[in-house]
Amino acid sequence: MASSAQLERRAERARERLTDRIADLRYHVSPATVVGDLIGNPSTLGDEILPLIAKQARNNPVASLLIGAGIGWLIFSEVRGPLSKMAFGTPRKAKRGKRRVTRKAKAVAATRSK
C-alpha cells in the first residue's frame, strides 16, 4: 500500500502533466492558430479554400441559403438603429422576463417581511 507522501507526489505529477496539456491545448486551439492553420498564406485562400466553399455551396443549396440568411440577420440586427427599434418595438420576451423577475422579487420581499 502506498503512503500518503507517495500519493501526494503522484497527484502533484498528475497536476503538472494536466497543466502542461491544458497549456498545449490553449496554444493549439487559439483563434489565431486555427485561422493561421486554415488560411496559411494568402495565396492558399484563393487557390484552395474559396473553390471548396463554392463547391460546398453548390452541393448544399439549402444549407448555404440558411447560413446566408443567418449572416444577413446578424448584420441587420447590428446595423439597425433607434428608428428600427421604434418601428419593430421591443421584444416580448424581454418584457415578460422583466415582469417575472419583478413578481419573484415581490414574492421574496413579501415572505421576508412576514
Which value, in Å, is the radius of gyration of the alpha carbons in the chain? Answer: 27
Domain boundaries, the chain: 83-114
- Distance (Å, whole) CA 17 – CA 80: 49
Q: Give the model confidence (pLDDT) of 8-56 as tens digits.
A: 999 999 999 999 999 888 887 777 777 777 666 655 556 777 788 889 9
CB contact at 8 A, 48 and 40: no
* Prediction pTM value: 0.33
Res 52: pLDDT: 84
The three three-digit cell numbers of residue 14, written as one number: 498528475
